[in-house]
Chains A and B, each alone.
Chain A
Amino acid sequence: MSTEGAIVADAEPAGRLAENIVYFARALRAAGIPVGPGAVLDALAALEAAGVGTREDFYWTLHAVFVKRHEHSVLFDQAFRLFFRKRAYLERLMAMMMPQAPARPDRAEPPASQRVQEALFQGLESKREDEKREVEIDARLTISTREVLQRKDFAQMSAAEIAAAKDAISRLVLPLDELKTRRLKPHRHGHVIDLRRTLRSSLKAGGAVIDLHYLGPKTKLPPIVALLDISGSMSQYSRLFLHFLHAVTDARKRVHTFLFGTRLTNVTRALKERDPDEALAACSASVMDWSGGTRIGSSLAAFNRLWARRVLSSDATVLLITDGLERDADATLAFEMDRLHRSCRRLIWLNPLLRFDGFEAKARGIRTMLPHVDEFRPIHNLDSIASLCRALSGEGGAVADPKAWLRRVA
């Protein structure tokens, strides 16, 4: 400790500020805000430029440099409060390095505070972390609205299951569904003359011969948005589908994945990990309602309100993976399904219940949702995953027509 004290005492005032900013950046990083070394330099330059006088200016100056996303604002706020708490912040920093309990918070803390606090004192906690016993509740084909806040360990996947999933994924033929964009690219049989290339190539011959070059439409893969039900009645399948979605995410740039049971979680970033095991572990870490009850209506409402306009902006294909066993199949569910249907290009409902030969669209939830989907497909084995790939390539099929299922019961 004595050497550290000496460093602090000897350093220039500006040097101490720099040191603190570096520590603060590290705390932000631990709290989950991506802060690079460049941002630290920027912060020092900004503080110098602003000539900070008040605490508020100091706050907003650092905010301007470190925060690059709206949702990071609340994390930054908490980290700032904890870190620059008057007099106490240095002691707290030192507490991180000593094996003793962190000081107790003075008052009730807002929700994000817990996360930031955990991040700041992570080194301390991890040593004493206990092995938590997992309680496995088999809630297969039962629906409960009770929220089971339990984190499911992906290590429980049996060897056979993993082999089957990997097998399916390795044989996956990736969809070739392509959308025309409004951009043009050089094209042999295009419809627009590319004057720039034409002129340049004509200069080769001194402008005597003018060879026409053409531009044609450029195509792109449409984005995919997957909404995966992870409630108890789906628990046998959701892991496999996550593997599938990871493979799709890996191969295509624009895939967004959301998990829902009783609440909606965006796991797109977690699935971007290259290694499937790491990606799935990251997923399970971010989900709180694994194998719990299901509220399809309210989850869809949350998606429509918070995410639809951000991820469905350019003609997305939506994969809705759920068994449709919703207890509260009311007007809300129909309304939200309708809104989802109207804001995407294609809505494909994948239902593992279709594995039963005698399946009939009788459950109320299913009857409510069916009129609003474009395709209704089974997904329960490798064959059905393969046929999904074909469906994503743009081929429909009689099995997929949702109206046929409704007629069969009526």
Chain B
Amino acid sequence: MTDRTTDTAQPLPTSIDATLQLLTGADYVADRPLATVLFLALKMGRPIFLEGEAGVGKTEIAKVLAATLGRRLIRLQCYEGLDVSAAVYEWNYGAQMIAIRLAEAEGVADRESLASDIFSERFLIRRPLLQALEPDVAGPPVLLIDELDRTDEAFEAFLLEVLSDYQVTVPEMGTIKAEHPPIVVITSNRTREVHDALKRRCLYHWVGYPSAERELTIVQAKVPGIGKKLSREIVGFVQALRKEDLFKAPGVAETLDWATALSELDAVALDPATVSDTLGVLLKYQDDIARLDGTKVKALIDEVRAALRAAE
């Protein structure tokens, strides 16, 4: 659930331009609005709430932040039924049982001391949220709370305490508070609305599909060795596809997968047959794939070519 980068800790960026440079340096092609929000969040010590369609690079932002700042990345993947014992802490019951039996065998009868002994830090198993509140040599870690919309309202309500005061209450031990708050990145695919009370504590940013120009830069940065012509046609095709009436439009992740697939197939330009064969990489719903038959694909490719020629 956690991994540590080998880099040493870097200082936080001091301006919006520096933030933009930091992201670009790690091959994350961001626009200025995103850099502004990230900079503000780092500067003001507030969580960032990123919302957007699947596959537009929300999770990637947290990974890039952790890597470039040389911080530890702690990831909490949300799912239905996520509870405190999986997200924050749990007691090590096995060890506690043994401790009780040992106390019995040794004849220690002092109940008070036994109770405080059993519920001490020695028997506490730390889960992601608690780990994120602990001091780290490389500086406060990056806490990624991924796909918050997958969990339920009860967990959201619990997060309120963690995100506003950066503290967690363990009934048996008391309150654990972070000395330096972690950098919190929350993502949501918007399968449902997250409660306003939680959003209010965060800086909100909607991550949209990138412009053609930015997507081209992303493809060329992330798929090394791809031809210039092919990459421009791929981006043009995907951008045209997003304008079609599809149930699920392809995200940047799909564009990258498709670009990798086509470059593995040694394609130098788009042709209808190859596109139809590899459409499953871009579109994930059968209805959408059925809608794009051979003639439609050909028409789209011709359209993209014409637009590219006009731009030259």
Contact = CB atoms under 8 A, between A and B. Distances in A.
A196 B92 CA distance: 9
Interface in B11-44: 15-16, 32-33, 36-37, 39-41, 43-44
Contacts of B36: 50, 57, 60-61, 64
A207 B103 contact: yes
B51 interface: yes
B284 interface: no
B interface majority secondary structure? helix
B199 A68 contact: yes
B191 A310 contact: yes
B80 A314 contact: yes
Given A60-B32, A199-B91, A310 B114 contact: no
19 contacts: A39-B200, A46-B44, A49-B40, A49-B43, A50-B16, A50-B40, A51-B15, A57-B36, A60-B37, A64-B204, A68-B199, A68-B200, A70-B51, A70-B190, A199-B100, A199-B118, A204-B111, A206-B111, A208-B104
Given A57-B16, A181-B80, A199-B91, A68 B43 contact: no
A42 B154 CA distance: 27
Nearest to B96: A199
B81 A181 contact: yes
Contacts of B196: 34, 68
B170 to A, nearest CB: 11
Contacts of A199: 91, 93, 96-97, 100, 118
Contacts of B192: 310-311, 313-314
Interface in A275-318: 304-305, 309-311, 313-314
B159 interface: no
A187 interface: no
Given A61-B40, A70-B206, A207 B114 contact: yes
B83 A183 contact: yes
Nearest to B99: A207
A190 interface: no
Nearest to A195: B93
B277 interface: no
A46 B40 contact: yes
B158 interface: no
B249 to A, nearest CB: 11
B109 to A, nearest CB: 6
Contacts of B205: 64
A133 to B, nearest CB: 38
A38 to B, nearest CB: 7
Contacts of A34: 196
Contacts of B190: 70, 310
Contacts of A195: 91, 93
A181 B155 CA distance: 14
Nearest to B80: A182
A392 to B, nearest CB: 21
Given A34-B196, A45-B44, A64-B204, A206 B93 contact: no
Contacts of A314: 80, 152, 192
B203 interface: yes
Given A60-B33, A68-B204, A207-B100, A310 B193 contact: yes
Interface string B185-220: 000001111001001100111100000000000000
B299 interface: no
A4 to B, nearest CB: 32
Given A183-B152, A208-B104, A304-B247, 6 more contacts: A46-B40, A49-B40, A50-B16, A50-B40, A199-B118, A305-B247
Interface of A: 34, 36, 38-39, 42, 45-46, 49-51, 56-57, 60-61, 63-65, 67-70, 73, 181-184, 195-196, 199, 202-204, 206-208, 304-305, 309-311, 313-314
A62 to B, nearest CB: 10
B308 interface: no
A312 B19 CA distance: 38
Nearest to B201: A38
A313 B191 CA distance: 7
A77 to B, nearest CB: 12
Contacts of B203: 64-65
A286 to B, nearest CB: 17
B268 interface: no
A184 B80 CA distance: 12
What are the 3 closest A-B residue pairs judged by CB atoms, nearest first?
A182-B81, A207-B100, A60-B36
A203 B114 CA distance: 8
Interface string B145-168: 000010010100000000000000
A50 B43 contact: yes
B115 interface: yes
Nearest to A198: B93
B81 A203 contact: no
A195 B92 CA distance: 10
A63 B33 contact: yes
B119 to A, nearest CB: 8
Nearest to B189: A309
Among B16, B41, B111, B205, the most chain A Cβ lie within 10 Å of the Cβ of B16
Contact of B111 (A57, A203, A313): A203
Nearest to B203: A64
Contacts of A305: 247
A205 B113 CA distance: 13
A309 B191 contact: yes
Nearest to B199: A68
A42 B205 CA distance: 15
Nearest to B36: A60
Nearest to B206: A70
A196 B81 contact: no
A183 B82 CA distance: 8
Contacts of A45: 44
Among A34, A304, A314, the most chain B Cβ lie within 10 Å of the Cβ of A314
Contacts of B81: 181-183
A61 B100 CA distance: 56
A222 to B, nearest CB: 13
